[in-house]
Amino acid sequence: MARRPHRMATRVAAIALTVLALGACRRGGDGAGGKAAAPEPITLAPENVATVTERTLQAGPDISGTLRAKRAAALRAEVGGTVLEMLAEAGERVPQGKVLARIDATALRDALVAAQSGVSAARNTLHVAEANAKRARTLAEAGALAVQQAEQAEATLEGARAQLADAQARLVSAQQQVAKSQVRAPFAGVVSERQVSVGDIVAPGAPLFTVIDPARLQFEGSVPAAQVGLVRPGARVDFTVTGFDQVFEGEIERVNPAVDPATGQVRVYVDVKNDDQRLISGLYAHGRVAAESATGPAAPATAVDDTSKPPTVMRVAGGKVERVPVEVALRDDVTGAVAFRSGVKEGDVLVLGSARATLPEGTPVRVAQPEPAGAGARPPDPERKGVKPEDGAQASDGGGR
């Protein structure tokens, strides 16, 4: 009970000191000079600012479309029969000439044996006809045989030769049919589709496989007809692809000479090298034809306020933001950047996006430094090092035992 008056006296003394301190602050603010305290600067995160750098940007007509394999083969059955073996699967890489499937060729082999027999018989017939014709010529020259009979022997010889040629043609056809029972890869590539399975009965013309060469792709895109004058074979095309966070490059190979009446667009075919085979056929692509370029100070397009005339940017200078009119030389829609002709210089710090739109001119700001990798854990407060919660409670109570 003797400790309670001591605690109350301590609290009264603390309140009195607080009142005196507030009074001193007011007198200091209202004293000579009468200046109010400067406002705290607003902290801008690293993602809210960008530094102007020297870059070369490109601009031109937009182009959008789909990536296709430049070389693709749809393999179909050339003979009918039952599929005996499937030796390749979708997604499998195959060399040129590899057997992908085998079709039952029993009947075709029988026809091949018959064709070989026909060649042998025709060859024997020819040998007999050659001997008879030679004998008839000798006798006719000696006057022992009528000329008409000799001519008939020559005609029989010509017929035997024709029969042998026909038999040989049938043999070649039979050999080709047997060979067609084995479906082979026409070039080195990847099996993109497999339409049949073992045991299926296929007819001639039935789809079996699709093989593509992924090392060379073609970007089939469209550009507005009004901008076709800026498109020419050999021009570079920069584009982005669904699923990839980078810009790829290609070259216009040819331009369709006719405008699509339904869309008012012109088809453009872009050659795309894909040596690392990262890109795959069927992906959607969007970019632009590099019809013009500009080199100079550049920054993200979100730094520019296009609603003002002329366009302006918010630049950080002297710890405050200032509105600066700029002249834009070129806009690169693929990289999302703009090149400036005047108004800013390399090294200037510009405010981006929503931060630019919400900061009034003259607002004091400071740019936060990006945290190093692995940062994020809050360091311990050195003033509270070793202080336990119960110690803090006792300290706030204003007294000690």
Distance of alpha carbon 280 from alpha carbon 277, whole angstroms: 7
The confidence band for 226, taking pLDDT boundaries of 50, 70 and 90, is confident
Neighbours of 245 (CB within 10 A): 6
Distance of alpha carbon 154 from alpha carbon 138, whole angstroms: 12
The overall average pLDDT reported for the chain is 82
Burial of residue 175 (CB within 10 Å: 0-12, 13-18, 19+) is middle
* pLDDT at 190 (0 to 100): 93
* Mean pLDDT along residues 137-151: 85
Dihedral angle sign, alpha carbons of residues 129, 135, 137, 140: negative
The confidence band for 230, taking pLDDT boundaries of 50, 70 and 90, is confident
Q: Please enumerate in sequence order all residues whose Cβ is within 8 A of that of 125, keeping only pairs 6 or more positions apart, or say none.
A: 160, 163, 164
Q: Which of 95, 120, 57, 5 is nearest to 330 (CA)?
A: 57
Neighbours of 154 (CB within 10 A): 14
Give me the residue spans of the domains in the chain. 46-56+294-367, 62-71+213-290, 82-103+181-212, 105-179
* pLDDT at 38 (0 to 100): 66
Place of tokens 């929503």: 354
Q: Please enumerate in sequence order all residues whose Cβ is within 8 A of that of 399, keeping only pairs 6 or more positions apart, or say none.
A: 3, 6, 7, 10
Within 13 A of 111's CA, how many CA atoms are on the CB side? Answer: 15
The predicted model scores a pTM of 0.55
Residues 314, 356: contact at Cβ < 8 Å?
A: yes
* Mean pLDDT along residues 366-378: 65
* pLDDT at 161 (0 to 100): 93
**The CATH number of 82-103+181-212 is which of 3.20.20.80, 2.40.50.100, 3.40.50.2020, 2.60.40.10?**
2.40.50.100
Q: Dihedrals φ, ψ of 301, to 5°?
A: -65, -25
Q: Look at residue 121 and give its three-state secondary structure.
A: helix
Residue 138 has pLDDT above 80, yes or no: yes
* pLDDT at 398 (0 to 100): 40
Write out the H or E segment, with its range, that includes residue 3: none
Residues 235, 59: contact at Cβ < 8 Å?
A: no
Residues 298, 339: contact at Cβ < 8 Å?
A: yes
Query: Which carries the bigger pLDDT value, residue 382 or residue 272?
Result: 272
Distance of alpha carbon 363 from alpha carbon 348, whole angstroms: 17
Q: Please enumerate in sequence order all residues whose Cβ is within 8 A of that of 237, keeping only pairs 6 or more positions apart, or say none.
A: 63, 219, 221, 249, 250, 251, 252, 270, 287, 288, 289, 290
Neighbours of 199 (CB within 10 A): 9
CATH T-level assignment (fold) for domain 46-56+294-367: 2.40.420
* pLDDT at 6 (0 to 100): 42
* Mean pLDDT along residues 19-45: 56
For 312-358, the pLDDT digits (tens) are 999 999 899 999 999 999 988 778 899 999 999 999 999 998 888 88
Q: Dihedrals φ, ψ of 325, to 5°?
A: -70, 140
Residue 264 has pLDDT above 80, yes or no: yes
**In angstroms, what is the C-alpha Rg of the chain?**
44
Distance of alpha carbon 121 from alpha carbon 128, whole angstroms: 11
Strand bridging mode 53-59 / 349-351 = unpaired
CATH T-level assignment (fold) for domain 105-179: Helix Hairpins (1.10.287)
Distance of alpha carbon 208 from alpha carbon 206, whole angstroms: 6
* pLDDT at 393 (0 to 100): 38
Residues 228, 96: contact at Cβ < 8 Å?
A: no
For 201-224, the pLDDT digits (tens) are 999 999 999 999 998 899 998 888
Residues 350, 298: contact at Cβ < 8 Å?
A: no
**The CATH number of 62-71+213-290 is which of 3.40.50.720, 3.40.109.10, 2.40.30.170, 3.90.1150.10?**
2.40.30.170
* pLDDT at 374 (0 to 100): 52
